[in-house]
Amino acid sequence: MPPTQAESVIKNIIREIGQECAAHGEVVSETLVAFMVKAVVLDPSNGFNMDRTLVKSDVQKLVKLCVSRLLDNKNPSLDTIKMQVYFDMNYTNRGEFLEEHHRVLESRLGSISREITDNRACSREELESLYRKIVSYVLLRSGLGAPTDIKIVREATAALQSVFPQAELGTFLTLSKKDKERQLKELTMIVTGIRLFNRDCGKGGEGIDDLPAILHEAIPATTQHIDSQLETAQEQIYRYTAILEKVTKNPLISMELQPYMLKEALYNVRQYEIFLQIILSDIITCAQEVEMMIKQLGAQLEQLKMTVKSKTAVPTSQVFPIFIALSSLWTSFQDETVLISVLSNLTTHLEPFLGSHEVLFPEKLIQSLLEGVTVKSDVCRMKEHMGDRVQLVDFKKLEWLFPETTANFDKLLIQYRGFCPYTFVAMDGLLLPGNPAIGILKYKEKYYTFNTRDAAYSFAENPENYIDVIREKAKKNAELIQLLELHQQFETLIPYSQTNLRQKITHSVQTDLSHMRRESCSQVYPLKDASTQSMRESSTRVPRPQIYLAGLRGGKSKITQEVKVNLTRAIDET
């Protein structure tokens, strides 16, 4: 089947599944459906032949199975897959987020920038109109107040006139388009710096939020909330793990517990824990950046005060660079404010994907299963085996890495997201974090950790066997593809007619586990911008400002913190 025809078939399957679910009152995204299609096709128990194109009967069977799984609202596996799809579509790492954020802001200025740079004003009225447009541009680019607020406009106009009087418009109009754009950006930064300095001196700053103060309160509140969520999730993880260990040793209990899907519930909470750790790592980075920026802000403002102190006139060569530096620093504060708001919002939206654990596993049942069992934390398990290291003399052909002999030991990219592969296979899918201190096995240019020395030795005897078993288990529990980062292993298993699904299913998300520090990364999907009806002022159109207050819950704190996010509509949308 030609690729274009195959893509059409897949799209039709996805559409049909979505319509079937909608008919049953369940609205599902195309991305989620695409992931489920892959999950169902990969599961060997469903009997799909991976080496041939789907025929009509296969399609009907596929649709039926996918709809059935998507409507199963009491299945932890579905909750986990939904969580993974949501996170993949709404999270991006810090660098990519800020790059995309700046690109969006820049695109919003495109229309008014063209109105200014293409302007051929001649008459007095036309020049006055052009100057007002420049003031609006300065306000929109700086993000310091609404261009419809008369007090803010007057303050910005006064600051602009002090460095770029209207009489200089004639010279401005003779510049090339690129030079005009460059001057507009520079004027914005200088005016922003002036307004920030005046605000600090108590002589202005109308409509400028105290971002350092907002962030100083918002970051600890957000961190506290996530820490609280993590603590609750980890308590649940440790209890589920203890029960599953007990079950593995007692086949009778295992049969009784099978309908409860406790293992799938463990995967659900483990995935939630991992996503919270990614978000928390980003927020910690924000905190470090903000702390550094607050010191820089104080130093720059103090330098400005000393420069202009008791002077009637100051050379522009002395103050303009400081104004520009102030403006650049404030832009960074704005970036951190938006980023914290987005991360807080993402955290809130992850919670519903935990599913109804209380309904599936009543406390009474959990307590009875925990009878005679010691619940251990991940850290506690690691401490138990800190002294049990792999002995190199026991291995002549395998390479083992240790912290004292390996550069960037804590930066190594560990397979299965750091979970022990031997334990996962030997204990029927149980997830226990590996302990790098025992030794990291380097096998075929990939790295593996284990929770005990015995586990390391057993895996090392036949690594391929364990790798194959894990891959087969992931076919039956598709959420493991994301959870254990197995995407590359499944690329070759997807028939060519399914290749277009790769753009719709989740991609790798690397996290910081408590015992292995790593870079966070994921695919970026720009969020849609909220907008509102614009207003007309004078001879140029500017949008009505929209300020979004993101509630940042403070965990056990009774005080609610807020972050302001400017969602003013793009100029070129008016």
Structural domain contains residue 508:
no
Q: Residue with structure tokens 């302001």?
A: 564
Residues 475-491: b if buried by 16+ CB within 10 A, e if exposed: bebbbbbbbbbbeeebe
Q: Which of 489, 521, 544 is the last residue of a domain?
A: 489
pLDDT at position 50, please? 67
Based on the fold, state whether residues 179 and 230 are members of the same structural domain.
no
Cα–Cα dist 214/220, whole Å:
11
Please indicate, yes or no, if residue 107 is contained in any of the structural domains: no
Distance CA 463, CA 425 (A): 11
Write down the pTM of the prediction: 0.81
Q: Are 573 and 104 in contact (CB under 8 A)?
A: no
Beta-bridge partner residues of 537: 540
Whole-angstrom Cα distance, residue 484 to residue 467?
12
d(CA 493, CA 496): 9
> Is the same domain home to 324 and 449?
no
Range of the domain at 29: 5-71
3-state secondary structure 471-532: HHHHHHCCHHHHHCCCHHHHHCCCCHHHHHHHHCCCCCCECCECCECCCCECCCCCCCCCCC
Q: Find, among 140, 144, 132, 136, the residue nearest to 194 by Cα.
A: 144
The letter for the amino acid at 209 is D
277, part of any domain: yes
Residues 6+ apart with CB under 8 A from 194: 159, 162, 163, 323
> Which of 370, 397, 421 is at the close of a domain?
370
Question: What pLDDT was estimated at residue 191?
Answer: 97
The amino acid present at 392, given as its one-letter code, is: L
Closest to 520 in 3D by CA, of 42, 167, 230, 92: 92
Which long-range CB contacts under 8 A does 289-292 form with residues at least 24 apart? 289/332, 289/336, 290/212, 290/215, 290/216, 290/219, 290/333, 290/336
Residue 323 tokens read as: 């104004």
Decide if 504 is inside a domain. no
Would you call 1 exposed, middle or buried from its count of C-beta atoms within 10 A (0-12, 13-18, 19+)? middle
Same domain, residue pair 218 and 264:
yes
* One domain, residues 221 and 329: yes
Q: Distance between alpha carbon 122 and the CA centroid of its chain, in Å? A: 50
Residues of the chain with pLDDT under 70: 1-6, 50, 254, 258-260, 310, 491-574
Count CA atoms within 13 Å of residue 446 on its CB side: 14
What was the pLDDT predicted at 6? 66
Model pLDDT for residues 356-366, shown as the tens digit of each residue = 787 888 888 88
Residue-level pLDDT at 161: 96
> Is the same domain home to 234 and 353?
yes
Q: Are residues 453 and 480 in the same domain?
A: yes
- CB neighbours of 460 closer than 8 A, spacing ≥ 6? 395, 398, 441
Do residues 55 and 133 both lie within one domain?
no
Q: How far is CA 506 from the centre of its chain?
A: 13
- Kindly state the greatest CA–CA separation across the chain: 92
Phi, psi of 513 (to 5 degrees): -80, 160
How far is residue 446 from each of residues 69, 136, 411, 417, 443, measured CA to CA in Å? 34, 55, 13, 12, 5
Q: Which amino acid is at 82?
A: K
Predicted local distance difference test score (pLDDT) of residue 4: 67
* Cα separation, 32 vs 58, whole angstroms: 20
Please check whether residues 234 and 347 belong to one and the same domain: yes
Residue 95 lies in a domain: no
Q: Is residue 244 domain-shared with residue 357, that is, in the same domain? A: yes
Structural domain ending residue among the three candidates 178, 201, 224: 201
pLDDT of residue 291: 96
Strand order in 399-401's β-sheet? Answer: 399-401, 440-443, 446-448
- Looking at the structure, do residues 361 and 404 belong to the same domain, yes or no? no
- 378 closest CA partner among 227, 268, 234: 234
Q: Minimal CA–CA distance to 30: which of 53, 10, 6, 3? A: 10
Same domain? For 152 and 301 the reply is: no
| 441: enclosing H helix or E strand | strand 440-443
User: What is the rounded CA–CA span in Å between residue 442 and residue 399?
Assistant: 5
Task: Based on the fold, state whether residues 328 and 388 are members of the same structural domain.
Answer: no
Angstrom distance (rounded) from CA 117 to CA 104: 20
Quick check: is 247 in a domain?
yes
Total number of domains in the chain: 4
End-to-end CA distance of the chain: 46
316 lies in some domain: yes
Structural domain includes residue 476:
yes
Q: Which two tokens stand for residue 267?
A: 């995967």
Residue 175's pLDDT is what?
Answer: 95
CA distance 478 to 496: 19
